[in-house]
Chains A and B, each alone.
Chain A
Amino acid sequence: MSPSEDRFGDAPYDGPMLEVTDIKTYFETDRGLVRSVDGVSLTLERGKTIGIVGESGSGKTVLSRSIMGLLPKRGVVREGSVKFEGQEFIGIKPKEMRAFWGAQMSMIFQDPMTSLNPVMKVGNQITESIREHLDVSKSYAMELAENLLESVRIPEPRKRLKEYPHQLSGGMRQRVCIAVALACGPKLLFADEPTTALDVTVQAQVLDLMAAQQRERFMAMVLVTHDLGVVAGRADDIAVMYAGRIVEKAPTATLFANMKMPYTEALLSSIPKLAHDSHTRLATIPGRPPDLVHPPKGCKFAPRCTYVQDKCLEEEPPLTDLGGGHQYRCWFPVGTPGGAAALEKNRTSASPAPAAAVTSPVGGQA
């Protein structure tokens, strides 16, 4: 199946493949309404990768599942618009979504051990997807599965087909999950922390593999992670999420070179670097993510921000568009005179600003 061929045989849609507009996802709980995703917009073209970066609790996982539509209906409020090739997802019946899942879009989950059915053979888990969407015989499906395993660089693929997940290593399991996700040739791949549960040595391999597959198949990819390092060389655009909102979005190079949000800066500086001396204290972002049921007034990151001023605690900063795909929300952005002044003011005063983890604006390197 050629990548550019539209599965349904219609004329190919000429807008962005994925268009998310102001999506909101709230959960009804005893404590109140949890605003996990509170107005996120993004677009994605085929063949491109967007990295969604944030701490745990930022809403990044909920976002990816909400876009794909995998959340339950009961107790969940989902608003906004998600258009895939012009088709609106929000509001359609689950039965209709099933035609997309696996065939048009897939997801790779964080923990490969629990993502695979422990009592089902690996081969069957792959062919199941194939036979659901494609009208092929069992043996043909198995052949396809074997080819898939080979393409994800699993040695002895034929043998592996008959094995169970617990017989494989973590890295191999994740490759199997990739194979399952790619089985029907989807156009869009969601990867939710795909390497977090893996050994460091294996992480790069798996990421490279995913990138290679993406190129080959001309897929779009949404790469969700808490680790900026993961998206650094692999995403075309990066969206930084905090407390259910995107606080900065930019093409990768721009983001690293010219970040504006203090949060982005803090994230970056918390990555340990080889260049640092040993025993350099690891920079952290003090404090905890805000309560999503009763979020604070003003900028959500303000209580933990080193640049914080009174205005930040009062008013929510609007979205500023710098052009070239760079957007951010901040009153006192990094790298601006206003921002530098704010930072200096906090550093020298005895005001109850959080301990400075960043002592000077970081510019430039990735």
Chain B
Amino acid sequence: MPELPDTGVDDEIGSGPTATEAFEREQHEFGGVAGDSGLLQVGAIEAGPASTRRRGAGLGFGAWAAIGWMGFIILIAVLAKVGILTWGDANESFASCARKGPLADEGGAKGFLLGCDSNGRDMIPRLALGAWTSLLVAVGAVTLGFIIGGTLGLIAGFTGGKTDTILTGMFNVLLSVPVIIMALALVAFLQGASGEEGALSPEMILIIAIGVVAIPLIGRITRASSLTWAQREFVLASRAQGAKSRRIMIREVLPNVLPAMFSIALLAIGIAIVAEGALAILGVGVRPPTPSWGNMIALDRGNLFKSPHIVFEASLLIFFTVLSLNLLGDVVRARFDVREGGL
């Protein structure tokens, strides 16, 4: 078997629980959902905190940087959408700039700090507006997923019995169809349903499609959490007091499930942003000229060879946003994770 490198730090194996380390053990109850749309990240949800920082140490540099970034992005997105600060016109084409990156020395790129896309449109306002679209879709989808999936999961975990079996069965059947295909089918269906005039905007369609796909995923996670809490003694105590089930569920179990769910939500938003991107590459979703980070990448992926900056810039934004969300999700979870038993 391959030898592990000995870095010279003395061996630690088998010395029993040490007084110095404080490792957290995560409860794994479900697996991740893979998929090339980046939904592998769901597995990361269960993988434990990124750092072994001790609790109560205050938010580290990473967390603050993440908050800063998210704040920045949200601000830009809102400002761009509302029209206050647009940094140029997202739709205006400048022929001279077409396909020129920020480093192009020919005159066309002057004044365009981030270059232009293949249609000569300034990248900066497009990225800003794209932020709005991508965030809107992601947050909308996750909200939808939580409202329906979260509720169903909460009920399933708490009620148990037949209801639980049926709901879990439903989740499992829904999940046996690959996520992309579900999403594609849903988008196609919704596009047809909204007719030629487009009663539903592409963003709305995406929100519904990604949201519906998220329902069984979020449902399963919520159910697991709900199940754990429902088995605790304080629920039993509540029942012994004569409280009605629904009341217990809402007043006792839900508040305990929420913090964990909030952390999952943050991660899910990141996943949804990536999902939007994947769907855009498949040619589905927000239609140009409306920019979204995903469709900017999709549109100009053919130009990757000559003008990599387009894809690069949008990808970088996605990367940092998802990274920040993941970090924040981790931090939230580490803060609110109540250890059973241990002091």
Contact = CB atoms under 8 A, between A and B. Distances in A.
Interface of A: 27-30, 34, 65, 70-76, 94
A71 B16 CA distance: 7
Given A27-B19, A74-B9, 20 more contacts: A27-B18, A27-B20, A28-B19, A29-B19, A30-B54, A34-B19, A65-B16, A71-B16, A72-B10, A72-B11, A72-B15, A72-B18, A73-B10, A73-B11, A74-B18, A74-B20, A75-B18, A75-B19, A75-B20, A75-B21
7 contacts: A27-B18, A28-B20, A65-B16, A70-B15, A75-B21, A76-B18, A94-B11
Nearest to B56: A30
Interface in B1-48: 9-12, 14-16, 18-21
Given A28-B20, A29-B19, A74 B12 contact: yes
A120 to B, nearest CB: 15
B15 A71 contact: yes
Contacts, number: 36
Interface in B258-317: none
Interface residues of B, number: 12
A94 B14 CA distance: 12
Contact of B10 (A27, A29, A70, A74): A74
Contacts of A76: 18
A70 B16 CA distance: 8
Contacts of A65: 15-16
Nearest to A26: B19
Contacts of B9: 74
Residue from B18, B19, B54 with most neighbouring chain A CB atoms (10 Å):
B19
A28 B15 CA distance: 15
A28 B19 CA distance: 7
Contacts of A29: 19-20
Contacts of B11: 72-73, 94
A72 B20 CA distance: 10
Interface string B212-226: 000000000000000
B256 to A, nearest CB: 28
Nearest to A70: B15
Nearest to B17: A72
Nearest to A101: B14
A165 B54 CA distance: 35
Contacts of A72: 10-12, 15, 18
A73 B54 CA distance: 20
A94 B16 contact: no
A29 B18 CA distance: 9
A72 B11 CA distance: 7
Nearest to B15: A72
A8 to B, nearest CB: 23
A74 B17 CA distance: 12
Interface in B155-178: none
Nearest to A94: B11
A76 B20 CA distance: 9
A130 B11 CA distance: 23
Nearest to A31: B19
